[in-house]
Amino acid sequence: MADDNMQPLYLNPEFSPEVRAQDLIARMTLAEKVSQLMDDAPGVDRLGIPPYNWWNEALHGVARAGIATVFPQAIGMAATFNEDLVHQIANVISDEGRAKHHQALREGVHDRYTGLTFWSPNINIFRDPRWGRGQETYGEDPYLTTRLGVQFVRGLQGDDPRYLKTAACAKHYAVHSGPEALRHAFNAEVSQRDLWMTYLPAFKALVKEAKVAGVMGAYNRTNGEACCASPTLLQDILRKNWGFDGYIVSDCCAIEDIYKHHKLVPTPEEAAAMALTAGCNLNCGSTYEHLLAAVGRGLLSERDIDEALTYLFAVRFRLGMFDPEEQVPYAHIPVEVINSPANQALALEAARQSIVLLKNDDNFLPLTKNLKRIAVIGPNADDELVLCGNYAGTPSESITVLDGIRTLVSPTIEVSYAQGCGITEIGQDGFEAALDNARDADVAVVVLGLSQKVEGEEGQQAGLAEDEITQGDRTEIDLPGEQEALLRAVAETGTPVVLVLLNGSSIAINWADEHIPAIIEAWYPGQSGGRAVAEVLFGDTNPGGRLPVTFYKSVDQLPPFEAYDMDGRTYRYFDGEVLYPFGYGLSYTTFETTDLSLSHDYISGLETVHVNCRVRNTGQVAGDEVVQIYLRDEVASFPIPRHSLVGFWRVRLAPGSETHLKFEIQPEQLACVDDSSRWLVEPGDFTVFAGGGQPGTPGVQSARFTITGGGFTLK
């Protein structure tokens, strides 16, 4: 320890965060140490430790902290299939988060949602459309989730060699995707193959590639161990296997669940000791206040507490919280960046790129702007709350679909509105006004879907009226309430109909697919979503989004919700007929993928396979194509995916123009987990597919190579 008359070592930025943390911890009493292990950590005046609340959110914008730029919900960001765009979004979010944090410090505020430790992104796999929090994820595919998650973390954390811009947190680790109502006591039973091939790849990449600063444990158990107190997950895999050196935090009140609901131990002292010694450094909640008594009972040592604190203070040092502001490059971002014109423009562009055109019979869209009367109908047509989804900030202005249409078209065009029905309410009292609205119109834009009423986090009230609470998960995947009846009634008037969906998960719209000429999927598109939808409707924007989830025909096609076996789930393991497949999306132009070639016809199994192809816009208008690369192992000796996404690239092309794209398939992407939980590369034939969708999509090309060696394991 340094001489008390000299500057303490922990205040010297020349030393590493870990050394500084250890020096600071050595000066603290046991009670002071324990106080720092919970999310609302008090200040320690005698050591110059400011109070700090660890809990902050940034899923698709700085959340729950007043005005902020609100981007499309995460599932909408996933639909962009655009890594660069996701990185730009996260960079803006961290700008706004930094500005808000330092403004709060200037005002002496240290409350929740003002800190720099963002508990985002959510990289759980959206394995079942009934899960209410699937909207927070990047969809059902491990590779897409990985690539977008890596870019989001990099955007949040910045690229300074010494300081973090903000600290991202990968959640919920691991094997977590509902049911919401059971999450505090549920045991997710999963095979080692599914664990390693589906549920863990994104977490591994965010730790090893993106160097994420934090990982949040899930509420549930995985194979019997509480995720927030699992030696397997936290020590064996996260720390030892992947070399994670950041902090681990529990989900909020998850440590309490260990003794109250999982009933793994009988007392809070034992639950706290179990979690901390397993590797959970920070308790979102208050169970860790029992650690003092746990030390007294010999359930753990003060050294265990010191180790946990080292991870926590190291992150705070990396954020510059103990250094002069002039030394921290991110401390001077002005508050004027918050929802600035540039950020608003990015939110609009993100919404544009997230929109997926599901159907467009006979080029019904885009609509002409020479219409006389447009009827806008539906419960989501003029609802500002539904634009944002959950874990959202407060936009300075929200543009609903009705607003967007009215702003975009000429004032001489009459735009009328009728709600028709609610999201879930039963009763058709509003039908007549909606039908009167539709009968004399040139076109009816019917805006239906879901909202936080029917999909959200257990107990969620955000995004709802004051007296409402979400139902959490869905039991059915059709349009709820009277919405399909309203759609049918409007169609029966004879007025041409466009269906616009706002939702965070797939919906079985079988009747609409058969009878409505044009369908647009817009997700929860953020503050500018209505403008983006209007631009797509009238052709100012050519839609280029792709589905990050499968749209099934019926809930009857799904395995039981509680089953975590991947068999029969997602495009990788489901072989039935779907409504719209993963990776699907139409355009106002046409594209052609040609000249697919591989760098090798034969490999030993350790080489990188280089994939080349050309893509050309063969239509009459500019547009975005998402070229997708899939891989199929033709002769595996154990269960594997039907095929898997291994590359994608969103490219914008003018009419008649083309570009050459290059992809790489790494040895790790050739491997599968065998029955002994080993990553194994087997000899045999592999097929590569390239084009605008999955294998079987018209125009998708294929090429084959053979692994002549193989039969070995990868570390």
pLDDT, one tens digit per residue, over 283-328 is: 999 999 999 999 999 999 999 999 999 999 999 999 999 999 999 9
- CATH code reported for the domain at 30-329: 3.20.20.300
pLDDT of 709 reads 83
* Residue carrying structure tokens 């805006």: 447
pLDDT of 3 reads 52
The answer to whether 475 touches 541, Cβ cutoff 8 Å, is no
pLDDT of 712 reads 63
Residues forming a β-bridge with 416: 375
* Rounded (5°) CA angle 424-429-431: 85
How far, in Å, CA of 445 to CA of 375, rounded?
A: 6
Average pLDDT, the chain: 97
Q: Which residues of 454-488 are buried (b: 16+ CB within 10 A; e: fewer)?
A: bbbbbebebbbeeeeebbbbbeebebbbbbbebbe
Q: For the segment 570-590, what is each residue's pLDDT rounded down to a tens digit?
A: 999 999 999 999 999 999 999
| Strands 672-673 and 679-681, bridge-based pairing | antiparallel
How much helix, strand and coil, in percent to the nearest 5, is found in the chain?
Answer: 30, 20, 50
Token readout for 525 is 């598109």
How far, in Å, CA of 87 to CA of 407, rounded?
A: 30
Instruction: Give the residue-averaged pLDDT of 89-114.
Output: 98
DSSP reduced 3-state for 189? coil
Q: Which residues are catalytic?
A: 251, 458
- CATH code reported for the domain at 343-573: 3.40.50.1700
Q: Give Cα separations from 242 to 119, 204, 245, 279 (angstroms).
A: 20, 7, 9, 14
- Smallest CA-to-CA distance from 177 within 565, 574, 642 is with 565
Please tell me the number of Cα atoms within 13 Å of 424 on its side-chain side: 14
pLDDT of 2 reads 45
Q: Is the predicted pLDDT of residue 105 greater than 90, yes or no?
A: yes
Residue 490 identity: V
Residue 666 gets which letter from DSSP?
-
Q: Is the predicted pLDDT of residue 1 greater than 60, yes or no?
A: no
How far, in Å, CA of 147 to CA of 242, rounded?
A: 18
Assign residue 362 a region (left: φ > 0; alpha: ψ between -120 and 50; beta: otherwise).
Answer: left
Give the domain ranges of the chain: 30-329, 343-573, 591-714
pLDDT of 319 reads 98
How far, in Å, CA of 8 to CA of 20, rounded?
A: 9
Q: Is the predicted pLDDT of residue 692 greater than 60, yes or no?
A: yes
Q: For the segment 365-407, what is each residue's pLDDT rounded down to a tens digit?
A: 999 989 999 999 999 999 999 999 999 999 999 999 999 999 9
| Strands 658-665 and 609-617, bridge-based pairing | antiparallel
Q: For the segment 179-223, what is each residue's pLDDT rounded down to a tens digit?
A: 999 999 999 999 999 999 999 999 999 999 999 999 999 999 999
Q: Is the predicted pLDDT of residue 710 greater than 80, yes or no?
A: no
DSSP reduced 3-state for 484? helix
% of the chain with per-residue pLDDT over 70: 98
The domain made up of 591-714 has a fold known as Immunoglobulin-like (2.60.40)
Burial class (CB in 10 A: 0-12, 13-18, 19+), 396: middle
Instruction: Give the residue-averaged pLDDT of 212-237.
Output: 98
Instruction: Give the residue-averaged pLDDT of 425-449.
Output: 97
Instruction: Give the residue-averaged pLDDT of 395-420.
Output: 97
Q: For the segment 542-551, what is each residue's pLDDT rounded down to a tens digit?
A: 999 999 999 9
Instruction: Give the residue-averaged pLDDT of 61-69.
Output: 97
% of the chain with per-residue pLDDT over 90: 95
The answer to whether 67 touches 339, Cβ cutoff 8 Å, is yes
| Helix ranges, 186-253 (H) | 192-194, 201-208
pLDDT of 5 reads 61
